[in-house]
Structure formats: structure tokens, C-alpha cells
A and B are shown apart, each in its own frame.
Chain A
Amino acid sequence: MSNFPTTARCVVIGAGIVGNCLVGHLSDMGWDDIVLIDKGPLPNPGGSTGHASNFIFPVDHSKEIVDLTLESQRQYGALGMQNTCGGVEVARSEERMEEFRRRMTSAKCWGIESSLMTPAEVKELVPFINEEVILGGFYTPSVSAVDSLETGTQMRKRAQEAGHLKVLTNTEVLDIETIETSHGKAISAVVTEDGTISCETVVIASGVWSPKLAAMAGATIPLTPAVHQMADVGPFDVLVETNQELAYPIVRDMDTFCYERQSSGSMEVGSYGHRPILHRVDDIPSNDEAALSPTEMPFTPDDFDQQMEEAIELMDFLGDGEIKYAINGLLSLTPDANPVLGPTIEVENLWAAAAVWVKEGPGVGKLLAEWMTYGYPELTDPHGTDVSRFYPQQRNVNHIEARADEHFNKTYGIVHPREQWNSRRNITVGPVKSRTDDLGAFYFEAGGWERPHWYQSNSDLLANYDVPQRTHEWDARWWSPLSDAEHLHMRENAGLVDLSAFQIFEASGIGALEYVEKMVVNKCDVPVGKSIYTPVLNESGGFRSDLTIVRLQENLFRIITGAFDGARDEYWFRSHLPADASVNLENKTNAICTFGVWGPKAVALLSRVTESKLDQDNFPYGTSQSLLVEGLPVDMLRISYVGDAGFEIYTGTQHGLALWDALWEAGKDYNLRPIGAAVYGTSGRLEKGYRLMGSELENEYNPVEAGLDRNKVKAADFIGKTAYVKARAVKQVAQLCALTMDSNKCSAGYERFPTGSGNEPILTLDGDRILDDKGRISRVTTAGSAPSIGKYVLLAYLPIDKCIPGTALQVLYQNELYPITVATTGRNLSLYDSEDARMRC
């Protein structure tokens, strides 16, 4: 074929909403040699976009998802492809009404107009609804329906008309070829049934087929095709006579996981309430074999009957409508229900752009185009959608299907910010799980690891300490008063923390120093045995991570990061290894386990089990020593994330159980208790004002704003240096602050406790949202109790004029206002022992 492009800079596979929008944005950003391939015909090649219901409810609790959704609505609107019809979610339970109050909080946070409605008010909007089965509604006027196929067509044409894009339809991709590189492999070509295209970059935007295409290159895109049932029912006079595509707001019947969307004279009834029906990619028929399209699978009516009954209960007339079209529509589910975007970890220049809803498509197109062009996305921080967030044991079909099976029915569910998974637990555990089990540990999953969150064996401590109980079930869910008791016990005695979930990489070799210097902000050329806590930036100067590095030897650096970010961090470090093999990066997570011992008695306790001197003079804060504990070789690091003196103790996993037992035995004389991650990660950290990646730290903020800048900038070059130096030179528009709640009392007279999951806005005393000069929203990034000072603490970025201790503000939680006051700002946010005297004794 003469027109067949034998070379391209970038090949995008898949002409659904994502692929089309991506090529449009890439073209806008100057990519002038793109090929878009699809195995089906245009404008509807047969993927999930072609059967989407195409509506957008913009309110979500996740900032990342809202950023993508609002940007998508903006793009659909700019192209004239959006019909803003409004939408109302209805509740059939009090629990759902509480969720609506949470939605009101999110709506306020993101600046989306929404309101709570009585059943009668819902009836005014939707006259054919049975108001007797609902308790109320959550109405958002900016809910819209869009034309995703035409939007895709226009975005594609934009790139074609610019002369930047060639489109190949009805062309199946047979293989994706790679070449060996110094540290793995990289993209070289895409093989199609019509010929081979040599290329630098490939993007897989192939929806449910993405895992199969990724596998061609030896990569993984963890998702599973799953069924969403949908039926078109009608015609109905009440709809026909409107003479409009959408005269009535779209209704989401949240407690039955169903929606009803007018489509001219008919109603589309869709459901996320049926049993999870997962397919394998190989089960999807080809365009030729499919009776409808490949992703419009045969309807299985038995699965839909209950949804029909519930729909009729809400809108009686639906029962008389004819079912003219009904499908088991395929969509993509990932293990955590978020999209999978960004560079794949296995193959250089192979990108994932999958598991994206129509409501996020154009935004994702822009985000990826920025990411591919600049090396990082500007639109939002992608840590929740980044394909590199999954660990190896989370990328296989067992894990993907188990988790998709579990979360499918939560699509419209009420998901608590602390909610834990039921499936695929105990897959990854540390060496002392048998001991922590015996102590009644309640485990939270952290990056796949089982991590004790609190210990039932500490129940007796509740008699010693007057810790607050939580009246409201929502506040008390996935929470225990034991955590505050453990905290207070540690402050007076000593606590033992299982830190086995730490992610540990070691960089070694003659180029190791230069390499780690390049990767992080703070100086790594320190004496052997010193530790470095440091931000990790992208080129924009925004946060990519924060972590601790220990110089164990001249050319050996141990990099320690958290379980939630380990997979992303490992990808980032690996993808920046020098080509000359001067550095070896080894993942030691499974080889090394870690325990922490902190509290005023920690040093004395540990001195019992080692002959080395542990006092501050002989073992200063921030340093590491290799020594023996009861004859077991360990590396001890004097450091603290909880505000008390103590050590992180690293040893080979094979010694973990013996080390734990030795510490436990010695601890008997010091009232040592096991302490859960709720203390380590939240209450202990919060009293000291320490920051957490993904909460306070994300790419929209720089180290100066986060208060993590140092007095000097190191001489060595590092990623983000230019931006960092610039940020230090200009007046900051925002700063991270710690705030305390003046009162937790709600209107019902009991205390409420914000979750700090990112959607709770900080408001002025007039109740207005607070935005800084860059348009960034002030919101709670972490919330939790500070038991030692008897306060409930929030962290938030505030515009610089409000970063003054004593400033009175408000926080919105579950749609109710609470008075708060700025307590600290700047580098030291500590609310407890702000001189750090306890940590250095």
C-alpha cells in the first residue's frame, strides 16, 4: 500500500475518546508525525466509547478525577459537543443522605454548584419520579451529556488538518517490537497487517484490548474487560412530547446502582448493580464476529431483572416501555477502579492510556500529551492514575479480577476514604505477621502489604487514657480509639512499630553518588553513615516524591520510601539510571525488614540488646550504624517520624522474627507496646507537622511552599533544580500550615472528625472558598488527632496572607462548618515539642 506510513514519531493505537483526544492535543503541542491506528471503522471502531451513555456527573471526592473531569467538560463545551441538562442523584437510605452531605463538601471544595433536595423538590425537577421511595436528592446543574464520537472525530481532524496525523482504520496491530537498551527495552516498531511502522513512541489507548497489546511488547496494563448492562426502553409520551434529546435531568438511583437517562423519546436504564461479569480479552469477538459491536456483548436478562424492578419502582411508566436495545456493554476495570495512564514500567517509550470513562477522556488526552511532551503533566498530579503505581503482584489476572469483582458494585457505592479491601489479602506480609496476629493486629493494606493499624491487645490502655470516642458511625468507620491510646502510651514509655512494608532500593557502583545527587534535591555527598531526608522533584519543580537516603558506604546508598509510593518511586529511579552501567539499582524490599522503636524509654531499652553505645553523642540523630542486636546484624538509623527518640532497625528478613522477639523480650521491663500505623502515619506525624507524599506533597506544590526547602542549594545538578532555584527567588503565593479545630461539635451536639481525604475545603469566616494566586484550592490534606496536645489537627496550604498563626478560618466537613485556627506555618509545623528535644535525647 503506497500510502502506508513506514515511520512515525508516535503511534497511538485506538481511536476511542482517549486516542482521538490524545492525537489532537499532541498535535497542538507540536508533535507533527503521528499515526493513529484502529482495527475497526470510523467513527465508531467498536470499543467502549461507541456504546457509552456519555453523561458526566462532575462531583467526585478525588481531586485528580475532578481535575480530569472538569477539564473534559471544558473541552466538550468548547467544541459545542455538550448538552448541560443537569443531574440528580437520589437516595433511598439515610446512609446515602450522609454520603450526599459528603458530596456537598466535595462540590464546595471544587467549586461545583450543587444542592441537596427534598423528595418534593426532586419531583419538581423530575415529575415522573416516585418521591415516596426516596429520602432526598443531590442536584448538580452542570451535569451534562456529550457526543464522544463526534468530539473524537473533531480532535482527530484537528491533527489531520494540521498535517500532523495519519489515520489507519480497519488495520489490526499484530505486534509491537522492542529493542534492547542498557537497562531493559524500548519501543522500535508497530507491526500491522498492512505493514510495519518504525517509531519512537507507542501509546496504547485501546480500552478493553489494552492488556493484549501491552503483552505484545512484554508490558502490562492491568485491567479487565467487565460488563455494564444497559437497556434502551420506550417510547414514552412524557419524553416524546418534550421533542428534545434531554429535557429532564439525568437521574442516578444511587442505592440501587442504577441510572435513568432520557434519550429523546426513550429512557436509557443502566446498572452497576448486577453481579460482576468479567471477561478475558480473548473472549471478546472481532468486529466481524460480533452481532453488534465487539464491546456490545449479548444481553443476559437474568442479571438485569432486579434492576428493572427497582427502576419501575422509581419510575412506574418504565414498566410499559419496550426494551428495544439491551447490551452487556464492556468497559475496563483496574484493580483500584482508577485509570491506568503514563509510561509503562517495562518498556521505554510505551505509554498506557486506558480504563478511562468518557467523562475523563479529553482531560486524559491533554494530561498525557503534556506528560509525553514535557516529562510531567501540568493538569493534575497523576499519582492515583499512574500505571506505575501497581506492584508486580498486582499486575496479574488473579489480582485484577479479584479486585474488579470486589469494586464493581461500588461504582455507585459509598466508599469510605479509609475503606479496606476484602479480596487478595495476605498476599504480601512481613516476617512477624504471626506475632502481630497474636497481638490482635487490625491490618490495613499499604501498597499490597499487610500493615498493623492498631492492636486489640492494647485494649487495657483505654483505662489509662481518656481518649475521645466517635459518635458518628462514618467517623468511627475503619478507626479505633486504641490508636490514640497507643500514641499516648508511646509518648510515656516505648512503642514497637512493624515497618516491614518500607520499600527499599540500593544504588551502588562508581556512579552512585552522581546518580542519587541528580535524583534528589538535598545534598547526598555526606559522610558515610549519614541520612538525607529529601524531596524528589520533576522538571517543573513540583513534588515527585519524598524519601530518606542513607549513605551506607562510599558508593552505596540505601533509598527508603513508603509502601504507597514504592512502585512509582522505583519506576522513577530506574528510568533515570545512567546508560553507562556505572550504577546498579537493586530492590531490597523483600530482603530487608524494618522495625521502629520510639518513646522516652526507647534508647534505654535498645541499650539492653546491643553492646554499642546509643546515646546522642555516640549515635547522633540522623545517622546510621551497622551493629549487632542480640547477635543479629542490623543497621540502626536514629530518626523519627513520630516525634520521640528512637531508631529504625533494619535487618535481613531471615532475622526479622528473631529481632522482633529480642526487642519484645527486652521491652518487658520498659512497658513496650506494639504501635500501629495509625500512630506512625498520622497522629505521631501530625503532632510534628511532617508531610506525606500524595497528601501534602504533589506536583502542584514546590518544596518552598511545603516548607521543605533548605538554607542552601547544593552545587550538584538535580532534576527540577532550575525550577527550585527560581521558586526560592520569588515571593511564594501559598504555604503549608497546620491548623487546629476550635470545636468539633456539630449541630446535633456531638463531635465530628474530618477524614482529611483531600475533599474538605478550608473556608473564610464568610464561608467562601480560598484560592491562592495560582488558583489552587485550600483544602485539608491530612486530618487527625494530636492526642498529646488534646487537639484535632489539619494540614492545608493557604494563600500567603492567611499563613499567620491565630488566623481564624472554617473547615467544611460532611456539609457542616467548624471553626479552625492557623497554628503553625513555614518549615517547622510542629505542634508538640517544637524544639525536637524529645527526639534527640
Chain B
Amino acid sequence: MGVMRILVCVKRVPAPGARIIITEDEQNIDSGHLGFTMSPHEECAIEAATQLSEQHGGEVTILTAGSSASEEQLRYAASVGASSLVLIENSSGNDWDPQRTARALSTAVRALENESGNYDLLLFGNEAADTGGYQTGIRTAHLLGRPIVNAINGIEAEEGGFVARRETLSGVEVYRVTGPAAFGVKEGINLPRYPTMKGRLASKKLSVRVIEDHSEPGEQYRLRLFRPAEVAKETVILGTDSNAAGAVVDLLEEMGLV
């Protein structure tokens, strides 16, 4: 293949601490003092895309659906190697259920492909860090008529397609997939790089292409969010100084670690 064209889909999500606060209307996480990020699976997908394009010569496009605030995640992706950024905005709001998201993403992919040719590879995070729906990648691939393998933790390019691996309880599954193809990437596939200062500054100079979306909402909608009852944390002090050694060994044995 010539220049490998890779598209990675990401989603802006809050980066919470141990305790997650839910807004009064029970519809959202209270992100008042939270930062935003993308799921670790998606960070790994970007790293995988960047490595493939470094190995084979390629270009990486990042696609997201959301508000203009999502530019932060697009630029982060650019600071670690992406060269083209696309934001899908829907004027009727930001209620991005999986069906609507998949419709919007597939429509945008088709539009982009009509302009510049097909993407050889679509990468998704295995699931979103906030909603954890496990659907968007599969639905989008399905609408585009592309094969998809989820939960991969290894990918290589070969003539005409890709070889992907995934670990299961019973062993390792290997998939040889003809391109163009889609994959859901699982954290652990690589160790994503951090942005460099130069990368960050370069990412500021990239323009973000905005695509207007008119997809209708899907059939899935949120009733409410609630937090499961807290399990009281009980801290058992095993001892102090060297006196604790015996208890620590007992515990490690109990956990099967020694």
C-alpha cells in the first residue's frame, strides 16, 4: 500500500478522582473541578496509529463528535503525532448516544473518504471511559461495511491488510483482516508517549475541520445516573516496623503472590 491512511476516533471524557459526583438532575457527572481527557484505550489507539505511520509511512486523522471543547482532545492527539483533526458538531445538542454517534461518525468518514480516498485503518478505543457502552466502534464499522475486531492488544500491517492479536482467557487469538478494516484497541497494546513541548506547540498550529452533523438521536437514552452504595473502606493495620513482616508474608501467601 502507499501512504497508510489511519483514522482514530476519540471521545472527550472527564478525569475524575476516587469519588465521582453526580449532578442534581442525575444526568451527568459534575465536572466543575475536573479536567478532561480521553479513555486510555483511545490514547493507545493513537499511539498504535502513530507507530504504524512511522513504520510504514502514513498519516493519522483524529475524529471526534462533541462540542468545541473537544478540540482540547484533538490537539492532545496532534501533540503526540496526529496530523489532521476533525470535529463533528451537532447543533441540536450534545446527547451522543451510541447509535447517533455511529451514524455521525460513519457519515463523516464517508464524506472525508469521498474527498481524499479511503482510510486503510479505523481505530477505536475498546470502550469509552465514561459510558462504557462497547458499541460505537462496532456500530460504526457495521454502517461502513468494514470488518472489525475488538479488544485487540497487538496490530501489524501486512500487504493488503492487518494482523491483530487479542488475549482471551483461553489463549491468544490472531486475526488476519483484509483492509480497509476497523479495530477496537485495548489498553496495554503499547505504552503511549507523552506529548513533548514542541509537539504541544505544533499542535496549536493545526486547524480543526468542523463537520456539521444532523443525525437523529438513537433509541438508547439515559434514565438517570446513580452511585452505588459505598462499601465502607476498612483499613487493617498489619503492624509497624519489622514487627509487621510476618503478617505481610501471611497476606501475600493468602493472595497467592508468594
B252 at the interface (CB under 8 A from A): no
Given A297-B33, A298-B34, A298-B36: A289 touches B194 (CB 8 Å cut-off)? no
Quick one: given A298-B15, A321-B196, A322-B194, are A285 and B201 in contact (CB under 8 Å)? Answer: no
How far apart are B171's CB and chain A's nearest CB, in angstroms? 35
List, in ascending order, chain A residues with CB within 8 A of B196's CB.
319-323
Name which of A303-311, A821-829, A830-838 contacts chain B: A303-311
* Cβ contact within 8 Å between A311 and B197: yes
Task: List, in ascending order, chain B residues with CB within 8 A of A323's CB.
Answer: 194-197, 200
Q: Mark A284-302, 1 if CB is under 8 A from B, else 0.
A: 1111111110000111010
Q: Are A288 and B201 interface neighbours, CB within 8 A? A: no
Chain A residues near B15 (CB-CB < 8 A)? 291, 298
Chain B residues within 8 Å of A341, by CB: none
Quick check: is A580 within 8 A (CB to CB) of the other chain? Answer: no
B19 interfacial by beta-carbon distance below 8 Å = yes
Q: How far is the CB of B47 from chain A (nearest CB, A)?
A: 13
Q: How far is the CA of A299 from the CA of B75 in the complex (A)?
A: 14
Q: Mark B1-25, 1 if CB is under 8 A from A, else 0.
A: 0000000000000011111110000
Is A668 an interface residue, CB under 8 A from the partner? no
Is B35 touching A298 in the complex (CB atoms < 8 A)? yes
Cα-based distance from A285 to B21 in the complex (angstroms): 10
Are A289's CB and B21's CB within 8 A? yes
Q: Confirm or deny: B32 has a beta carbon within 8 angstroms of a beta carbon on chain A.
A: yes
Q: Given B18, B20, B193, which contacts A322 in the complex, CB threshold below 8 Å?
A: B193
The answer, yes or no, to whether B204 is at the interface (CB within 8 Å) is yes
For window 270-290 of A, CB contacts with B under 8 Å fall at 283-290
**Residues of the A chain whose Cβ atoms lie less than 8 Å from the Cβ of B21:** 289
Instruction: Please tell me if the beta carbons of A299 and B200 are within 8 angstroms of each other in the complex.
Output: no
Contacts of A283 in B (CB 8 A): 32-33
Report A315-354 CB contacts with B as 1/0, cut-off 8 Å: 0001111111000000000000000000000000000000
Given A289-B17, A291-B16, A291-B17: A308 touches B197 (CB 8 Å cut-off): yes
Report if A233 contacts B (CB, 8 A).
yes
Question: Is A312 in contact with chain B by the CB < 8 A criterion?
Answer: yes
Tell yes or no: B198 within 8 A of A by CB. Answer: yes
Chain B binding site: helix, strand, loop or mixed by DSSP? loop
The answer to whether A308 touches B17 (Cβ under 8 A) is: no
| B225 shortest CB reach to chain A, Å | 16
Interface residues of A, CB < 8 Å — how many? Answer: 28
B17 near A288 (CB under 8 angstroms)?
Answer: yes
Instruction: Pick from B20, B36, B72, B201: contact of A309, CB below 8 A.
Output: B201
Bound complex: CA of A284 vs CA of B33, how far in Å? 7
Question: Assuming A305-B200, A308-B200, is B195 touching A322 (CB within 8 A)?
Answer: yes
A321 to B194, CA, bound (A): 9
Shortest A517–chain B CB gap in Å is 55
Q: What residues of A have a CB within 8 angstroms of the CB of B34 in the complex?
A: 285, 291, 298
A233's nearest neighbour on chain B, judged by CB, is B197
Tell me, in angstroms, the Cα distance from A286 to B201 when the chains sit together.
32
In the complex the two chains form, is A324's CB within 8 Å of B194's CB?
A: yes
* Chain B nearest Cβ from A318, distance in angstroms: 6
Q: Are A305 and B33 in contact (CB under 8 A)?
A: no
Contact (Cβ within 8 A) B193 A285: no
- B197 lies within 8 A of A321 (CB): yes
Interface of chain B residues 193 through 222 with chain A (CB within 8 A): 193-198, 200-201, 204
| Contact residues in A for B198 (Cβ distance below 8 Å) | 312, 319-320
Q: For residue A306, give the distance in angstroms from its CB to the closest CB of chain B.
A: 10
Distance in angstroms from B33 CB to nearest chain A CB is 5
Question: A296 to nearest B CB, angstroms?
Answer: 10
Complex CA gap A677/B72 in Å reads: 53
Taking the closest CB of chain B, its distance from the CB of A29, in whole angstroms, is: 29
Is the Cβ of A286 less than 8 Å from the Cβ of B197? no
Given the complex, which residues of A lie within 8 Å of B35, measured CB to CB? Answer: 291, 297-299
> Which residues of B have CB within 8 Å of A233?
197
Say whether A285 contacts B17, CB under 8 Å.
Answer: yes
Given contacts A322-B195, A322-B196, A308 and B201 within 8 Å (CB-CB): yes
Measured CB to CB, the closest approach of chain A to B67, in angstroms, equals: 16
Please measure, in the bound complex, the distance between the C-alpha atom of A312 and the C-alpha atom of B16, giving whole angstroms: 32
Known contacts A312-B198, A319-B198; decide if A288 and B18 are in contact (CB<8 Å).
Answer: yes
| Minimum distance in angstroms from B103 CB to a CB of chain A | 32
CB distance from A309 to the nearest CB of B (A): 6
- Give the docked Cα–Cα distance between A324 and B194 (Å): 6
CA distance A298 to B34 in the complex (A): 6
Which B residue's beta carbon lies closest to that of A319? B198
A298 to B35, CA, bound (A): 5
Instruction: Please give me the residue from chain A that is nearest to B35 by CB atom.
Output: A298
Question: How many Å lie between the Cα of A596 and that of B211 in the bound state?
Answer: 72
* A residues in contact with B195, CB < 8 Å: 322-323
Least Cβ–Cβ distance between B182 and chain A, in angstroms? 29
Indicate whether A301 sits within 8 Å of B200 (C-beta atoms), given known contacts A285-B17, A289-B19: yes
Interface string of B176-204 (1 = CB under 8 A from A): 00000000000000000111111011001
Report B-chain residues with C-beta under 8 Å of the C-beta of A312: 197-198, 201
Contact B204 A286 (CB under 8 A): no
User: Which of A290, A309, A321, A324 has a CB less than 8 Å from the CB of B17?
Assistant: A290
Please tell me if the beta carbons of A305 and B201 are within 8 angstroms of each other in the complex: yes
Chain B, residues 26-44, CB within 8 Å of chain A (1/0): the string is 0000001111100000000
A231 to B201, CA, bound (A): 14
Find out whether the CB atom of A319 lies under 8 angstroms from the CB atom of B16: no
CB-CB under 8 A from B201, the residues of chain A are 305, 308-309, 312, 319
A283 to B21 Cα, complex, angstroms: 13
Complex Cα spacing A287 to B33, Å: 12
Chain A residues near B36: list those with CB within 8 A. Answer: 298
The winner among B20, B36, B201 for most chain A CB atoms within 10 A is: B201
What 1/0 flags go to A73-86 for Cβ under 8 Å of B? 00000000000000
Question: Once the chains are docked, how many angstroms separate the CA of A284 from the CA of B17?
Answer: 13
From the candidates A289, A305, A320, A322, name the one contacting B16 in the complex (CB within 8 A). Answer: A289
> In the assembled complex, how far is the CB of residue A281 from the closest CB belonging to chain B, in whole angstroms?
12
Determine the chain B residues whose CB is within 8 A of the CB of A287 once the complex forms.
Answer: 17
Taken together as a complex, chains A and B put the C-alpha atoms of A537 and B117 apart, in Å, by 86
Q: Please name all residues of chain B whose beta carbon is closer than 8 Å to the beta carbon of A231 when the two chains form the complex.
A: 197
CA–CA, A548 and B179, complex, Å: 92
Asked if B193 and A288 make an inter-chain contact with CB atoms under 8 angstroms apart, the answer reads no
Residues from 238 to 290 in A contacting B, C-beta threshold 8 Å: 283-290
Q: How far is the CB of B79 from chain A (nearest CB, A)?
A: 8
Q: Is the CB of B19 within 8 A of A288?
A: yes
> Is A289's CB under 8 angstroms from B197's CB?
no
Q: Within 8 Å CB of A309, what residues of B? A: 201
CA distance A320 to B194 in the complex (A): 11
What is the chain A residue whose CB lies nearest that of B15?
A291
Please, which residue of chain A has its CB at the minimum distance from the CB of B20? Answer: A289
B20: A residues at CB distance < 8 A: 289
Nearest CB of chain B from residue A727's CB, rounded to whole Å? 53
Q: How far is the CA of A318 from the CA of B201 in the complex (A)?
A: 12
Most buried by A among B15, B17, B19, B195: B17
A311 to B35 alpha-carbon distance, docked (Å): 25
The answer to whether B19 touches A286, judged by C-beta atoms less than 8 angstroms apart, is yes
The answer to whether B204 and A305 have CB atoms under 8 Å apart is yes
Cα A308 to Cα B198 with chains together (Å): 8
Q: How far is the CA of A301 from the CA of B19 in the complex (A)?
A: 25
User: Nearest 3 A-B pairs (CB), nearest first?
Assistant: A298-B35, A322-B194, A288-B19
A-B pairs with beta carbons under 8 Å apart, 23 shown? A284-B33, A285-B17, A285-B33, A286-B19, A289-B16, A289-B17, A289-B19, A289-B20, A290-B33, A291-B15, A291-B34, A301-B200, A305-B204, A308-B197, A309-B201, A312-B197, A319-B196, A319-B201, A320-B198, A322-B193, A323-B196, A323-B197, A324-B194
On A, residues with C-beta under 8 Å from B are: 231, 233, 283-292, 297-299, 301, 305, 308-309, 311-312, 318-324
Kindly list 12 other residue pairs between chains A and B, CB separation below 8 angstroms, not including A301-B200, A311-B197: A285-B17, A288-B19, A289-B16, A290-B33, A298-B36, A299-B35, A301-B75, A319-B196, A320-B197, A322-B193, A322-B194, A323-B197
By a beta-carbon cutoff of 8 Å, the part of chain B in contact with chain A is 15-21, 32-36, 72, 75, 193-198, 200-201, 204
